[in-house]
Amino acid sequence: MKNAIIVRQTPRQVDTMLRAADLAAGLDAAARQLRAEADRLEKHARNERRRAEVDRQMRRAAAADPNADPAAFAALLGLPESAAAAWIARARRRVAADARQDRDRLIMRLAASGWTNARIAARVRLGQTRVSEIIQKGKRSLSRGD
């Protein structure tokens, strides 16, 4: 330490430097946590996009082929067969619900056009009692503003 310059610092300066070092360490830790959280959220977003795409494919498959083979979809999408079977079952339920909703809308339109329940029932191949129930449910839904 031939040419070293020794600088004396007051206790206050030392204390300020220590607090600054602690603050810097805390900020570094917070930055690491934020990066980890951002990575986790990005992974979650990728998984959600993949799930949505698989759901669309399964829904199309269930609509196009009521006897879709879960094993074939599992191999195609890289999923376990049980997962593919569950996706297909869920997609079939959605397709059936959509079809029921379309049928119920048709029944409401025909009823609003003045068709009798018997004529509507013959058109949509349901019993008159079921047609009446659907119309009543539709009227309740309209009165609630659904």
Local confidence band at 59 (pLDDT 50, 70, 90 cut-offs): low
pTM (two decimals): 0.51
- Residue 78: what residue type? G
Q: 84 with 74: CB under 8 angstroms?
A: yes
Element (H, E) at 34: helix 11-64
pLDDT band at 70 (very low <50, low <70, confident <90, very high): confident
Domain spans in the chain, listed from the N-terminal domain onward: 11-98
Instruction: Summarize pLDDT for 83-128 with one digit per residue, the tens.
Output: 888 878 887 888 889 899 999 999 999 999 999 999 999 999 999 9
pLDDT interval class at 66 (50, 70, 90): low
